[in-house]
Structure 1
Amino acid sequence: MVTLGVLLLLACTGLVGGAFLLRAGADDPAEPVPATWPSTTTGSPPAPDPTGSAEPAPQGPQASDFAAAEITDLNNVCDGVLYYPQSPKRAGKAPHPVALLIGDTPGGQRRQDNGYYYDEGLSKQVERIWAAEDPKTVQMVACLDRVSTGATIRKCRYDDPKPDTLTLLKATYRLRVHEVATGRRLLDKTLGGDDQACPYVVLVGADKKIYAEVSDRSLLAALRNLVKR
């Protein structure tokens, strides 16, 4: 609707006349509101799941891809790093061949004891049972580690290659026996160093200390049932 404003002007100059000025009103229609269309934006990709994590590293000894090549490889079984599925299991009829590895120093490489079994006999057949040289025939590995030392037992004097005196100390050992093919523990036993005589031959360290060892008799007694039954 348009509202008209009228302005009437009269001028008297001897004549009567009029003029009309017309002004348009302000009630014009409002400007149309622009149309709003649905957004076609799909949004950002979903964030990755913050709870996701890498697969945990496997725990415990792992199966070796290769057969043991040397007797010293069986240290991996002692240390709980590897076992050797290619080796024969401790199963079937006795005897069950074993290799004895002795650790003289904590964390050091163990060495094979090739002479502890002599009370069982000296034949090659006996050797293959108690101190086999071929790791592929060994069913069990016995791991003997010195775990603590004690008081002085005595002084041991040696003359070759030059006069020297060493201190013989008490010692305690841990004997563990594992099945080579699976790593399964068959025995875990503490043994005292019951051989307290001065050894005939020794390896001398800078501290000039030597340690009582587990006697051959005690080792055979600990292993006999596992080997012969």
Structure 2
Amino acid sequence: MEQNNSGHEPLSKTDGSLPDADELLSMADDPLADWLAAPGTTSPRGAAWLPILAIVVSVALLTGAGLALTKLRKHPAPGSGLPAEPTVVASPGSAWARDFPVTTKEDLDGVCRGWYYPQSPALTSPAPHPVMVTVLDEFFDDYRYQPGSVDVPAGTAKSLRDAWQPADLTKTQIVACVDLAAAGKSLGTCKFTKPKPTTVAFAEGVYKVTAYEVATGRKLLDVRVTGAGKDCPILTFVPAEGEIVLHSSITDRQLYNQLHALVER
């Protein structure tokens, strides 16, 4: 069976059909496997911090966009009986106070759009300060998703480790927003074999990492980081018309280096 240049088998099922989104997620490599790899080196499993899971058809783009619009909605106050409203995008500088507590990951996504939640715990409490990382999708620019966790160094105390993957969303104190800001130098190309041989340009991804206090909307961090994850993704979107450029991914190690002082001190 042919492989792409990242060493992954092309995606197809035994009956020749393409897998759906849920199956793609179950087939992806563990994105946390390269914690100990030095920046810029190849992961032993070819894992990437930002797995881009998609299929090469225009219909998939439309379906994904519909899913994004469904997920990004404002939540009315519990018990109000009011329907959810379409999301209104605002800059973090024009933060809006929400009059209800955080209950979902989508609520926390809103912190990257300018919302804040006065009912959330403030950073004045002792460390650790639970953090939620939320990533702006490279292809659907209205959709954010949360990685399962940020892998941390071996030997980190459990109380600190748990702060990187809050089990109770209501206790989240920091939201870290990861947004692709620009493309850096060319890294060559990525080759894919299914549904037909395709070559896609590959370049450095320059990411804006911004952290906010959930309770106040106060900006805690604003930096740019060049993604050190330089393995080609397992899958990508290739539109029916036009060209795309894939980007190197930001790694867990890079996120930890930028955020640990906020989370653990």
Look at both structures and tell me which one has the larger radius of gyration over its CA atoms: 1
* Deviation by residue 1:105-156 (Cα, 9 ceiling, x = unmatched): 3842211022432545799866641122532121100001111113421212
Q: Calculate the TM-score normalised by the size of structure 1.
A: 0.65
**Partners in 1 of 2:261 and 2:202 — Cα distance?**
32
Matched, 1:174 2:208: yes
Could you tell me which of 130, 147, 166 is aligned with 1:132?
166
Question: Percent identity between the aligned chains?
Answer: 34
Per the alignment, residue 148 of structure 1 pairs with 182
Question: What is the root-mean-square deviation of aligned Cα atoms in Å?
Answer: 2.6
What are the within-5 Å matches in structure 2 for residues 67-86 of structure 1?
67-80=101-114, 82-86=115-119
Matched, 1:89 2:139: no
Could you tell me which of 193, 210, 221 is aligned with 1:187?
221
Could you tell me which of 222, 225, 228 is aligned with 2:258?
222
Give, in angstroms, the shift of residue 87 of structure 1: 0.9
Per the alignment, residue 202 of structure 1 pairs with 235
**Partners in 2 of 1:93 and 1:68 — Cα distance?**
20
**Partners in 2 of 1:94 and 1:121 — Cα distance?**
17
Per the alignment, residue 96 of structure 2 pairs with 62
**Partners in 2 of 1:177 and 1:186 — Cα distance?**
5
Q: Calculate the TM-score normalised by the size of structure 2.
A: 0.57
> What are the ranges of 5 or more consecutive residues in structure 2 without an aligned counterpart?
1-92
* Larger RCO: 1 or 2 (CA < 8 Å, sep 6+): 2
Query: What is the aligned residue count?
Result: 169
Contact 2:210 2:223 (8 Å CA) reproduced: yes
**Partners in 1 of 2:245 and 2:110 — Cα distance?**
28
**Partners in 2 of 1:116 and 1:214 — Cα distance?**
11
Query: Residues 208, 107 of structure 1: CA spacing in aligned structure 2 closer, same or farther, 3 A cutoff?
Result: closer
Name the structure where helix makes up a greater proportion of residues: 2
Name the structure where strand makes up a greater proportion of residues: 1
Matched, 1:98 2:131: yes
Per the alignment, residue 36 of structure 1 pairs with none
